[in-house]
Structure 1
Amino acid sequence: MSGPVEIVLIVAAVGYVLVRRMMGEPAQAKRMLILPVVLCAIGVSDVSGEVTTSMSLLFLVATAAISVVLGMLRGASVRISQRDGLAFVRYTGITVLLWALNLAVKLGANFALGALDPKDTGGVGDSLMLSLGLGILAEGLVVLYRALRAGHQVMWAQGRDGAPHQSSPFLDDLRRNLTERGGDTYGRGREVRRVRLRDYR
C-alpha cells in the first residue's frame, strides 16, 4: 500500500475511534471487532515479504506486543456504564494518553531501527497498520469482557432507521456465564468471611 493512502487510513481510523468514544457511545461488538481485524489484515499484507532480517523481525514483534499491552491498558481505562439497558463506553483522559504513548512508541521504534540499520526500516515502517489493528482489537476485547462481566448487555450492531438493535446469542450466553460465575465467587467469598468471623468468636 502506498504511503499517503496508508497515512490517510490510519488517521481516519484513529480519529474515528477517538472522536466517537470521547463523546461516548453504546458498545457495539461488531464495530469493536471487525474494524481492527480489517486493519490487521491490511497490516499483514503490508509487511508480508518486507521483513527480511532478524533485527527488523525483532522490532516488529516487540512493537506489536507493546501495542497489544497498551491496547489492553486502554480497555481497562475506558469508563463503562449502562444506558437504556445497554453497555455505554467513554474514553477517559488516561485512555487518550495511552493512545499518544502507543503512537510515540511505534514511531520511536521505527526511528531507532533506522538509526541502527537503515536497510531494515522498510518492513517495520509499513507495520503501523498492523500494530494499530492489534492494539484496537486488544482494547475492544478488554472492554467487551468488562462490560459483559459487569452484567451489561452488549449489542452486536446498532439498528438503523429505527430498526431494533442486533443482538448476539453468543454474547448473551457469555454475559450470563460471566455474571453467574462472578456471583458464585462473590457468594463463596462472603461465606468464607462468615466462617472466619465465627472462628474468632
Structure 2
Amino acid sequence: MPASSLVIILAMVGYAVYKQSQRHEVVGSSRFRLAIIYGVVGIAIGGYHVPPNGLAWLFLGLSVALSVVVGLARGRYTRIWAEGGSVYAQGTALTIGLFLGMVVVKFALGTVAYFAGISDSGGIGEVLLMIAVMVAFQAELVWRRAQPLGARESSKDVVGVAR
C-alpha cells in the first residue's frame, strides 16, 4: 500500500472518529452525507477490483456483511435525544470502538487474503467503500430511531413547529 493511501485512510479514520464524538442534529435529508463522502473518496482513490475467484468473493461477502452488522450495531447504540425542538445524536465509546475495530478487521481480512493467495487486489478504496456501507446502515437506523422524537426531514424545516 502506498504511503499516500495510508495517509488518506488515517485522515479519514481520524475525521470519522472526530465526527462521531461530536453532537450533531439528526436531519433526514442529510443522513447519508458521510457515507457518500467515504464512497466517493473510496472510488476516487481506487484500489477496488472485481474479486478474481470464489474465495475472494466469499471474503468480499464477509466484508460487506461485517459492515452491515457493525453499522446496525452502531446505529442501535448511538446516543439520541431531543432538546429544544431538535433531535441530536452522538457516538459513544462503544460506537467509536466498533468503528475502529471494524477498520482493523478489514485490514486483517485483506492481509489474510493476500498472504493466503486468495486475492492481492484489495486496497484502500475497498476499505473506504466498506466503511461507507457501514455508515449508511448506521445513519438509516439513527434516522429511524430519531423520527419518533421529532427529527426534521430537511434542514429547511422550522424547528419546534408541529407537523
Which category describes the TM-score, using the shorter chain as reference length?
0.7 to 0.9
What is aligned with 1:190? Answer: none
**Once the two structures are superposed, what CA deviation does each residue of 1:140-187 show, in whole Å capped at 9, x if it has no partner?**
011001001x3322353xxxxxxxx4239xxxxxxx7xxxxxxxxxxx
What is aligned with 1:140? Answer: 139
Q: Is the 8 A contact 1:86 1:155 kept in 2?
A: no
What is aligned with 2:101? Answer: 101
Alignment of 1:43-54 (within 5 A): 43=42, 46=46, 49-54=49-54
1:167 aligns to what SS in structure 2? coil
Shift, 1:70, TM fit: 0.3
Q: Which runs of 5+ in 2 are unaligned?
A: none
Q: Is the 8 A contact 1:155 1:167 kept in 2?
A: yes
Letter in 2 for 1:10: I
Whole-angstrom CA distance in 2 between matches of 1:143 and 1:13: 21
What is aligned with 1:167? Answer: 157
1:82 aligns to what SS in structure 2? strand
2:80 aligns to what SS in structure 1? strand
Shift, 1:110, TM fit: 1.0
Letter in 1 for 2:86: L
Which of 1 and 2 has greater Rg? Answer: 1
Q: Is the 8 A contact 2:47 2:122 kept in 1?
A: yes
Count the aligned residue pairs.
Answer: 158
Cα separation, partners in 2 of 1:22 and 1:48, compared to 1, 3 Å? closer
Identity within the alignment, %: 20
What is aligned with 1:188? Answer: none
The structure whose residues are more often helix, as a share, is: 1
Q: Which runs of 5+ in 1 are unaligned?
A: 157-164, 169-175, 177-201
Q: Is the 8 A contact 2:113 2:120 kept in 1?
A: yes
The counterpart of 1:151, out of the listed 149, 152, 156, is 149
- The CA RMSD measured in Å over matched residues stands at 2.7
Whole-angstrom CA distance in 1 between matches of 2:114 and 2:84: 51
Letter in 2 for 1:132: I
What is aligned with 2:10? Answer: 11
Alignment of 1:85-124 (within 5 A): 85-117=85-117, 120-123=119-122
Shift, 1:100, TM fit: 2.0
Q: TM-score of the superposition, structure 2-length normalised? A: 0.80
Q: Is the 8 A contact 2:75 2:138 kept in 1?
A: yes
